[in-house]
Structure 1
Amino acid sequence: MSNQLKGILDVGEWEGIKPSWKPAPPGRSAGRRLSRLKILIRPFEVTLAKLVPSTTMGERGSVRPTAYLDGLRGFASLLVYWHHHQLWAHSATHQNEIFEDSFGYDDKYHLAAFHGIRTFFTGGHYAVSTFFVISGYVLSAKPLSLIQEQEYVRLGDNVASALFRRWLRLYLPLIAVTFLYMTSWHAFGLWAVNANPKGSWRDELQSWYFELKNFSFIYNLGGEPWPSYHYHAWSIQMEFKGSIIIYTCLLAFSRLTKNARLWCQLVLMFYFMYIADGWFAAMFMSGMLLCDLDLLSARRELPRALEKLWSPKGFIFYHILAVSIYLGGVPSVNADINRIRHSRGWYYLSYLKPQAVFDYKWFYLFWAATLLVGSTPRIPWLKRFFETRFCQFLGRISFSLYLVHGPILWTLGDRLYTATGWYGEAESVHLSRWVNRFPLPKTGPLGLELSFLAPHIILLPLTIYSAEVITRLIDQPSVRFAQWLYRNLSPRPERCGGE
C-alpha cells in the first residue's frame, strides 16, 4: 500500500507552492503589482489544467491503486456543496422537507426525492458518512501494512508521527478560514443570516477565540457541536475523535493474531453502533476493517471463510452498490423514527434501527457508506470514473471545498439567490437592494429551477477557485508546517544514541 494514501481531511505531502515570479527592480512598481497578482492567477491556471482530461496511456497507467478513494472523497465534497445550496435556497419557499422526506410522503411526488436520484440533490449526509469510512481506511493503511509485516518499531514511529500532526492538520485550516470569514463582517460590513457580529472587531476576535478553543478540545462537554462561525465544521471534531480511535486500535491490536485482530474490529463496530451511540466511530472502524481485508487479500492471507466472500463475481457488487445508494437516501427531516416508518419503502427497514442510535439516519448511512467504499473498487467503470482528472482534482481540494463553500453561500450566495427570487423575511429586510434585481422564473423540476441554477454560473466556479486558493495558501502549508514541527522536535539520527 502506497505511502501516498490520503484520506479526507488527511492530505499527504503535497507538492510545494512554487511561485513563478521574481522580485522586480525597486523602480518598477507596476511589475511588482503584476507579480503579486500572479499569486491569485496561478491557482486559476492550475484549476483549468487539472480539469482537462488526461489523454495519454502513460498518465492513465500511473494511477495509484487507491486513487479512486481520493476521487470518491472529492465527488462526495461536491455533493455536500450541492446539498447545502439546495436546502438554503429552497428554505425560502418552505420546500426543504420535500427534499429530505421520502418520495411520495404527504402525497408529494418530485423527481428530486425519488430513490437513488435523491442522492444527487441531498446526498450530503451520505457523503459525510463516506468521508468517515474513507478516513478509517486511509489512516490505517500504512500502519496495518506494518502490522502484517510485523514491523512494530516502524509502526510506533508511524503512528506517533501521524497522531502528533493530526490536530494541526485538521484545525489550522479551519482556524484560518473562520478568521477570514468573521473578519470580513467588519472589514466589508457584510451581513449574513447566520452571523451575529459583535460591536467591534476586537470583541469579535475575543468571541471567535473563545469558541474555537472550546470547539478544538474534543473532550469539552456541553454547548453546540459546532462553532457559530462555521456550522459545517461539526464533522472536523468527529474526524479528530475517529482518528484517535483508529490510532488507539492500531496499537492495541498490533500484537494480536490475524483472526483476533479482525474479530476485535468487528466487535468494536458492533459496540459503537448497537450498544453505544457511536455511529461515527463505527464508520471509522468499518474503514479500518475494509483496509485490513484488502491488504490481506493482496497478500493472499485472507481467512478461509472470507476468501470466497471477498472476491465474488462482479455482478454481486452491482447489487451491493444499489443497496448502498438506496440506504444512502434515507429520509432525514428529523430523528423521529415514526416519520420514516410511515415513509414509502422504509416501513420494514425502520425496525432494523438499534435502540442505542438516537438519530436513525446515521445507522442506515453507516451501512450505505461501508457498502459504497467496499464495492467501488470492484466495479470497473465506477472505479475508473473516480480516477478521472476531474474527480482527482476535486479530491485534492476537497478539504478546502468543504471549508469555503459555506462562507461563500452565506454571503455572496445568499445575495445572488435573493436577486433571482429566492429570499426570506430576513433577506427582504437586510438585503432589500438585492431583492428581485434579476428576477427569473422558478420553472423546471424541483431542485433544477432556472432561478436556482443561474447563480451557480458564478457560485460554482468561484467556490472551486477559492478552494484551490485556500488549498495552496493555507491547507498545504499547514500540512508542511505540521511535518516540519514534528521533524524538528524529534531527535536527530546522529544524536539518538546519546539521548
Structure 2
Amino acid sequence: MSLAPPPSPRIAAFDGLRGIAAVIVVLYHYLCLLHPHLTPSMGRTLTDFAHTPVHILWNGRFAVAVFFVLSGFVMAAAAERRRHALLANVFSRYVRLALPVTASCLVAWAWLVAFPDAALRMQETVASPSRWLSFTYQEPLKPIWIAVADGMAANFVRGFSRFNNVLWTMKFEFLGSIGIFLLYYLSSGRLRLTMLAAGTFVVVLWLPDPYLAFVLGAGLYEMHRRGLLRPLPGAALPVTALLAAFILGSPGEGAHARLDLPEVPESWELGEPRGLMPVLAATLLLYAVLTLPMLARLFETRVPLFLGRISFGLYLVHVPPLYTVVAWTYLSGAPEAVIAPAYAVLVLALALIFTRFVDEPVLALIAAVRGRSSSGTRSVPADA
C-alpha cells in the first residue's frame, strides 16, 4: 500500500493538552501534601469528590498516562522520520531526558539543603500527614555528586528518585521510547501494524501497563498518518470516546472496591493508578482531540500552548519546593490563601527559567548534532 509522506508530528492541540496535563500533576501533588483527603492514594480518609468525574481535574496518575500516550505518538513520528538511525535515536532520547532530569536533581538538592527537615517536621507535626511525604529524603542528605548520578543513570535504572519523586516516570519514558525506535527500525508497512498489535498483547500479558501507552500512542500515529483520524465535527464516536475518557480517567486509586464493582484482575480495576484504565482513558482522549475540531481548538488557545511550552520544566521542578519551602511555610503558620498563589507563581517562574536555560538549549543541542550528522552522511529514503 502506498502511503502519503508522514504528517508533521507537531500537533498544536497536543502541546496544549500536555500543558494542561502538567498543571493537573502540579495540582495533584499540592493536594497530596496539604489536602491528602482529596487524593485517594495518599490520605487516610477520603472526601466524596474523589468518587466523581470532577476528580479528573487533579488525577495526576491519569495526567501521567496522557504524557505516556503522547510520547508514544511523538516517538513513533520521530522513528518514522529517522527509521534507520536506531542508535542515534536512542542516544538523542537519552540526552533529551537525562540532561534536564539531572538539572532537576541539582535544583532539588539545593532546595533540600535549604530546608533539610521540613518534610520530617511536617510528618511529625500534622495530625493526619500524607504518606507522600515519605517519598523524599528525611535522613541526612546525600552529597551533590549522588544527585548528578541519580539524574544521569540511577533513576532510569531503579525507577524512582528521592531527590525528585516525579522521576519514577523517566524509566518508562526511556524504555518505552527505545521499544518504539526498535519496532520502527525492524518493520514497516503491514508488518509494523502486526508488530504493534502483538506488542499490545505482550504488554498486557507480561509488562507493566504504562508501556501499553507507548504502543497505543504509536497506533494512533499510524492511524493518523494513514488519514484514518480526520476531524469529525459532532460525530457520535469521538464524543463517546471523550465521555469514556472522563469516566475511565477520573476515578482514583481504590475506586473499584469503593464502588463495589465486579472482581477483575488488578490491572483492569477502575482507578488502578498504573493499570489499564488510565492508559485506555488517555488514548481515548487523544483520539477525541484528533477528531473533534472544537476540542482541538480549546487546547490550541494561548494559555494551554504556553503551558505546553514549559510543561517538561513544570513537571520537573514543581515537586521539590512542596516538601521544602511550602512545608516549612505551612508549619510556620502562614495561611493557605497566601501559600497557594505564592507557590503557583513560584513554580511557573521556575518552569519558565528551566525551559529557557535548560530544556530549550538541550533541544537546540540535539538538533545541531543531528544537523551535522545528516549533512555528513548520505540520507536513506524512508521506504528503502
Give a deviation string over 1:96-126, Cα, whole Å, max 9, x none: 565879xxx99x663x3242111113x1100
What runs of 5+ residues in structure 1 fail to find an aligned partner?
A: 6-65, 147-153, 333-338, 419-433, 440-450, 495-499
- Distance 1:361-1:211 versus aligned 2 partners, 3 A rule: closer
- TM-aligned CA deviation for residue 161 of structure 1: 3.9
Give a deviation string over 1:218-276, Cα, whole Å, max 9, x none: 4x4xxx5312111111111210011001101111222xx43x43232122112201x11
For the aligned residue pairs, the C-alpha RMSD in angstroms reads 3.2
Residue pairs, 1:103-252, within 5 angstroms = 110=48, 112-121=49-58, 123-144=59-80, 155-157=83-85, 159-186=86-113, 188=114, 190-193=116-119, 194-196=136-138, 198=140, 204-216=143-155, 218=156, 220=157, 225-252=159-186
Aligned length in residues: 356
Letter of the structure 2 residue corresponding to residue 204 of structure 1: P
Letter of the structure 1 residue corresponding to residue 137 of structure 2: A
Does the alignment pair 1:319 with 2:245?
Answer: no
Distance 2:77 2:38 in 1: 39
Partner of 2:291: 378
- TM-aligned CA deviation for residue 283 of structure 1: 0.6
Partner of 2:376: 492
Letter of the structure 1 residue corresponding to residue 365 of structure 2: F
Which of residues 455, 462, 465 in structure 1 aligns to 2:339? Answer: 455
Distance 1:389 1:205 in 2: 38
- Distance 1:192-1:480 versus aligned 2 partners, 3 A rule: farther
Partner of 1:70: 15
Aligned 8 A contact 1:133 1:286 in 2: yes
> Which of 1 and 2 has greater Rg?
1
Partner of 2:133: none
Letter of the structure 1 residue corresponding to residue 29 of structure 2: H
Partner of 1:347: 261
Partner of 1:263: 194
Distance 2:179 2:266 in 1: 24
Which of residues 351, 360, 363 in structure 2 aligns to 1:476? Answer: 360
Letter of the structure 2 residue corresponding to residue 192 of structure 1: A
Partner of 2:224: 294
What runs of 5+ residues in structure 2 fail to find an aligned partner?
A: 1-5, 120-135, 379-384
Aligned to 2:163, what secondary structure does the other structure show? coil
Partner of 1:400: 313
Give a deviation string over 1:412-455, Cα, whole Å, max 9, x none: 2223333xxxxxxxxxxxxxxx1x2x45xxxxxxxxxxx4x542
Give a deviation string over 1:270-325, Cα, whole Å, max 9, x none: 2201x113312211000000110111126xxx9xxxx9xx9696122222111111
Aligned 8 A contact 1:215 1:237 in 2: no
Partner of 2:187: 253
Partner of 2:129: none
Aligned 8 A contact 2:53 2:251 in 1: no
Aligned 8 A contact 1:166 1:240 in 2: yes
Letter of the structure 2 residue corresponding to residue 347 of structure 1: L
Task: Please identify which structure carries the higher helix content.
Answer: 2
Distance 1:485 1:90 in 2: 46
Aligned 8 A contact 1:182 1:229 in 2: yes
Aligned 8 A contact 1:76 1:127 in 2: yes
Letter of the structure 2 residue corresponding to residue 174 of structure 1: V
Distance 2:273 2:308 in 1: 29
- TM-aligned CA deviation for residue 155 of structure 1: 3.1
Aligned to 2:261, what secondary structure does the other structure show? coil
Partner of 1:86: 31
Distance 2:208 2:249 in 1: 18
- TM-aligned CA deviation for residue 355 of structure 1: 8.2
Query: Share of identical aligned residues, percent?
Result: 24
Distance 2:192 2:62 in 1: 28
TM-score, normalised to structure 1's length?
0.64
Which 10-residue stretch deviates more, 359-368 or 277-286? 359-368
Distance 1:360 1:190 in 2: 30
- Distance 1:181-1:251 versus aligned 2 partners, 3 A rule: same
Aligned 8 A contact 1:330 1:364 in 2: no
Distance 1:327 1:68 in 2: 21
Aligned to 1:227, what secondary structure does the other structure show? coil
- TM-aligned CA deviation for residue 190 of structure 1: 4.8
